Structure 1
Amino acid sequence: MTSLCLGLAGVVWASLPLQDFTLAWQHSIEKVRWEEDYHVTQAGLLLVEARVKGSGAGMEIPDDAQLRDGTWHYHRDLPPLQPLHAGRTPEAGDYQVCTTDWCQPLSYWLGPPSERIAAVDFWSCESPPLDSRRTALP
């Protein structure tokens, strides 16, 4: 079964049995929430849709975005991401992984962001045989 792996440089820190998820975070300066919906495939993570509540420093809203209920919705045609690389520092706050049923910060599985390891990768992987603590969903 294909799962969502979290880690860095190909080292799996946690594996989540998800086929679809939302990656969410708050912009560290503008304090605006960003959300990106992904579908997990064997080829990688497919970006389905993205949403943002407003613009600001380094946060340009694409020209084709549509405003619905106070949130800009847009789609980018990207090849599957394998991996999706993201910075993760204490100053910027933590990402959330969400499904239709729950949202949890990455710290739920990985511990808090640290300056020593200031990044995380997301990629599709075959479900490795990991202990239940590392694969537990909320």
Structure 2
Amino acid sequence: MIGLCLGLAGAVWAMLPLPAFTLAWTHSIEKIRWEEDYQVSPAGLVILSARVRGTGAGMEIPEGAILRDGAWHYPVRLPPLQPLRVGRTPQAGDYEICIEGECHALSRWLGPPDAAQPSLELWSCET
């Protein structure tokens, strides 16, 4: 089964057997929630859509976005990401993985963000 691996430089710290997920976070300065929907495929993580719940400095709404249910929804057209690299520090807060509407901070699987390890990679892998 294909799933989501979390780690760095190919070292797996956690593995989640799931076909799709939402990556969510709150902007560290503007305190606005962002969400991106991904499908896990053998080629990598395929971003299907994204939404943001407001605007702020350096956070313009993407062209073609539609306001629905309090968030700006917009399509994203990128090739599969393999890996997807994200920053993860105590100052910025933690990302969340949402599965079927239930969200959990990455700290559930990885422990709290650590300034000594400021980045993380997510990629598709066989579980």
When normalised by structure 2's length, the TM-score is 0.97
Between Structure 1 and Structure 2, the one with more strand by share is 2
Structure 2: unaligned runs, 5 residues or longer: none
Q: Secondary structure at the match of 1:50?
A: strand
Q: Deviations over 1:53-101 (max 9, x none)?
A: 1111221211110011221000111000000000000000000000115
Identity of counterpart residues, as a percentage?
A: 64
Report the counterpart of residue 65 of structure 2 in structure 1.
Answer: 65
Structure 2 Cα separation of the partners of residues 112 and 58 of structure 1: 27
- Which amino acid counterpart does residue 86 of structure 1 have in structure 2? V
Report the counterpart of residue 118 of structure 2 in structure 1.
Answer: 118
Divergent runs of 4+, >3 A: none
Structure 1 Cα separation of the partners of residues 16 and 68 of structure 2: 31
Structure 2 Cα separation of the partners of residues 105 and 112 of structure 1: 9
Structure 2 Cα separation of the partners of residues 39 and 2 of structure 1: 11
Structure 1 Cα separation of the partners of residues 10 and 55 of structure 2: 33
Residues 1-138 of structure 1 mapped to structure 2, 5 A cutoff: 1-127=1-127
Structure 1: unaligned runs, 5 residues or longer: 128-138
When normalised by structure 1's length, the TM-score is 0.90
Structure 1 Cα separation of the partners of residues 30 and 47 of structure 2: 23
Count of residues in Structure 1 that have an aligned counterpart in Structure 2 = 127
Query: How much does 1:15 deviate?
Result: 0.3
CA RMSD of aligned residues (A): 0.8
